Every structure is written in C-alpha cells, then in structure tokens.
Amino acid sequence: MTAKFSALEAEKLLELWQETRETSIRDQLVAQHLPLVNRLCRRFQYLGEPLDDLIQVGTIGLIKAINKYDPERGNKLAAFAIPVVVGEIKNYFRDHGWAVKLPRKLQRQKLLVDRSMEALTQQLGRSPTVPEICDAVGITEGEVFQTFEVERYGRPLSLDAEHNGDDGQVATTILDRLGEEDPDLEFLAQRMDLKMALGDVDPREQKILYLKFYSGLSQSAIARQMGISQMHVSRLQRSALAKLKQSLLIPAVD
C-alpha cells in the first residue's frame, strides 16, 4: 500500500532532499508521488503497451523531475513533474510503440474497440463477438476487423532479418530488396486522414478549399469564378475548415 503524506511532510521531505540529496529521502518523495504517476499512465493504457511498463517508465520520469526540481522557480513539485513524466511516457511510445504511423480515424477506432472489448468482457464474463462490439462502438464489422489487423503492424519484421532464397540461392534481407526512399511516405498517413475528413465537406466547400489552398486563388477570384459573393465564399471556407478540424480531432484518453 502506498504511504500517505501530509503537505507539511512533503515540504519537509523536499527541504531535506535539497539539503542532503540522500537517496532514501528521494525514495520517499517518489513513493509520495506514485499515485500521480499512476493517474498519468492510465491516460495511455489503451494505446497498446502494458500499464505496468508505463508506470515503470513514468516513475523514471518522476525521478528525473525530482533530480531537476528547483523550488526557487516557484512551482510545486507535482506541477513540475507532470510534463516530465508525460514526456518520458511519450518518448517511450516513440521508441517502443507503433512503428507504422496509422491514420487518425483508425487510431480512434482502435482505441474505442479496445475500450469496448475490455468493458464487454467484464460485463458478459466472456470475450465479446464482433457484432456485439459493433453495437457498442457504432462502427461496421469491416471497421472492427480493420482494428484487429492493426495489431500486425505494431512490431514489423526487422529490415536486417535474413530470408533463405529458393533453390539454394544466397539468403537476402528485406533491405536488399528495397529501392530508394520514397519521400511521399512520410506524409501518407496525413493525406489519408485529410481524404477521409473531406468526406464530411460538401462538394461546393471542397471546390473552395481546392481553389484557395491548391490553386492559390484569392477569395474575390473564387467568388467571381463561382458566381457568388466574396462574403459567401468566406462563410463557406470557414464552415469547411471547421468540419475538417472536427473530423481530424483525436479524443483525449482519460
């Protein structure tokens, strides 16, 4: 059980740590702030990594925050530690999480399906069926199966892994079979996101966005081409951008 500390005890511990830098005192500060680490880690527990691993990573971030903390800057230790802990967790996902960047819609759906499966398993006492997941999340069976397929891309094969050739040929690696780097791949996921988001924008608004951001026309030129007022163009453009922004948002993980 995690020990409980009063505010006065916390201040004394911080003073002692600043004066002595003794590891035993720092360990008490870590124990005091572990509930904070646990709460922060639970925001990320549905993103494919074990919660225990995230707590270990978050605790490392907490230790770094305690080591760097300077009370003269006026911040409370907890307020100073939060961005350090979250940053450590995000770095962990960058280094150990999904190696393939996924479209935001698919990320959203996977998050919802994972949450639904956990809740339904507890409720039903068994693994839920795909139709049950569909009813709970509000997506199609095909979209549910897509989220299942995502798991295959979390840990892709190494480019240096050797594969035996046919008929006694020399073993080769995946890297040996690759051509030159495609510069368009970096933004492929963003383009897919945008393409799906444009489905929520009506054709006239799409045309305005195309003329404005692809053809580089001014609003007055667009108005003349479309036979409407510049004010009308401005309203439609704002409406289209608002729809895109809403479609591209990813819900926060509590």
Share of the chain above pLDDT 90, in %: 17
Measuring CA to CA, how many Å separate 24 from each of 13, 20, 38, 85? 10, 10, 21, 21
Q: Which two tokens stand for residue 254?
A: 């509590």
215 or 188, which is more confident?
Answer: 215
The pLDDT of residue 159 is: 52
pTM for this prediction: 0.40
Residue 140: alpha-carbon gap to chain centroid:
23
Residues in CB range of 71: below 8 A, 6 or more apart: 14, 18, 77
The answer on pLDDT for 197 being more than 70 is yes
Q: Quickly state the pLDDT bin for 175 (edges 50, 70, 90).
A: low
Pairing of strands 162-163, 172-173: antiparallel
Domains, the chain: 7-96 (1.10.1740.10), 104-177 (1.10.10.10), 184-248 (1.10.10.10)
The pLDDT of residue 171 is: 57
The pLDDT of residue 214 is: 84
Contact between 81 and 65 (Cβ < 8 Å): yes
Which letter, b or e, does each residue of 184-215 get, where b requires 16 or more Cβ atoms within 10 Å of its Cβ? eeeeebeebbeeebbeebeeebebbbebbeee
